[in-house]
Amino acid sequence: MIFLETAYIAGGCFWCTEAIFQRLKGVEELTSGYIGGSVKNPSYREVCSGRTGHAEGVKVVFDPQIISYRTLLTVFFATHDPTTLNRQGNDVGTQYRSSIFYVNNEQKQIAEKLILELQETTFDDPIVTDLVAEMPFYTAEEEHHNYYNDHSEQSYCSFVISPKIQKLKQNYLHLFENIMINENFNIESTSLTTELKANFSEIISLLGENIEREGLVKTPERVSKAMKFLTSGYEMDPKQILESAMFKEDYNEMVIVKDIEFYSLCEHHMLPFFGKAHIAYIPNNHIVGLSKIPRVVDVFARRLQVQERMTEQVLDCINETLNPQGVAVVIEASHLCMMMRGVQKQNSSTTTSGFRGTFKETDTRNEFLKLINSSLT
């Protein structure tokens, strides 16, 4: 299951902001529009007048397992001037102000922390970016969508947007994919897919099938994209995911996130194994955003795996990053490699566990095991 998040940002002309964020790995959907004003469904002309109070902004739907909210904001600050009030270059007006509209307290804290860091290390002049709670977002007129992709030869695109994209590629190359724009102007990755497609075509042919058959024509491409997704954990940094939402807190009792669904591939036969993970930790001056724990599970699950190693990887990652008083991990899974083939035991399941710190103590471990097996009402 993919857990997508949403970010709302405004940093000058939305033609530019849209073009930049479309080209980032992990951005699943992007919409240009108006946010932060007092008038419902404003038009572009009304917003440009300055009377509605809206900023030109974008709604970014992203996969936080591929690109974190902090990384999105880092790109945001790197591609506009957050120290000029109501202005970006020659674009002047309140609609061009720098703003972040957080959707929850976690986003607010991440933004506040990053602004403080950038003020100390990067910007000499004061950062004037507004940090406000989410407000109604109104989608812009059709002609403003995919503007750079459709009009890259226009002077504004050539002299303002293109240099920003090139600069960003130089500084944040690892965030970009080799990209193409399909007939619907959606950004799609082409890196690796072509080579995988050729190999899967050959495999299907070697199995005795006709690769030109209607039902199989697009199968190599589909399988290639599926495999890239199912092994996308290799491109993710689980420690960075945890570090992006660590907060100082005096709470020192057990925190449990249980029944975390996951799907992985057995590295021996490349058949799925799937189940649930139950994770607990006892904080040591720091807590972590609860959503980050399932995401760490997915990072390690989306690799060629064995359940035993995955258990240890999740355990060690949380232990080394949070430095808690203790960590506990229990994983229950069914393995198709022994259900569909081999011994063909359809009702079998496998449980693995690992404990660090205070969870090695019998009483603490037993409390955890009791809680994950209970139904609290």
- For residue 86, what are its two tokens? 């109501």
80 is catalytic: no
- For residue 110, what are its two tokens? 């991440």
268 is catalytic: yes
The helix (run of H) or strand (run of E) holding residue 266 is: strand 255-266
Select which of 177, 269, 286, 312 is catalytic: 269
Cα-to-chain-centroid distance, residue 259? 21
Select which of 54, 144, 278, 335 is catalytic: 335
For tokens 């009402």, the residue is: 377
- Cβ-count burial of 213 within 10 angstroms (0-12 exposed, 13-18 middle, 19+ buried)? exposed
Q: Contact, 31 vs 9, CB < 8 A? A: no
> What is the DSSP-derived secondary structure letter of residue 317?
H
Cα 144 to Cα 344: distance, rounded to the nearest angstrom: 56
Select which of 22, 307, 313, 317 is catalytic: 307
Cα 351 to Cα 220: distance, rounded to the nearest angstrom: 34
CB atoms within 10 A of CB 344: 9
Cα 263 to Cα 353: distance, rounded to the nearest angstrom: 17
195 is catalytic: no
Backbone torsions φ then ψ of 82, nearest 5 degrees: -80, 5
Select which of 266, 278, 305, 317 is catalytic: 266
267 is catalytic: yes
Three-class SS of residue 111?
helix
Three-class SS of residue 58?
strand
Select which of 29, 195, 267, 361 is catalytic: 267
269 is catalytic: yes
Catalytic residue ranges: 266-269, 307, 335, 337
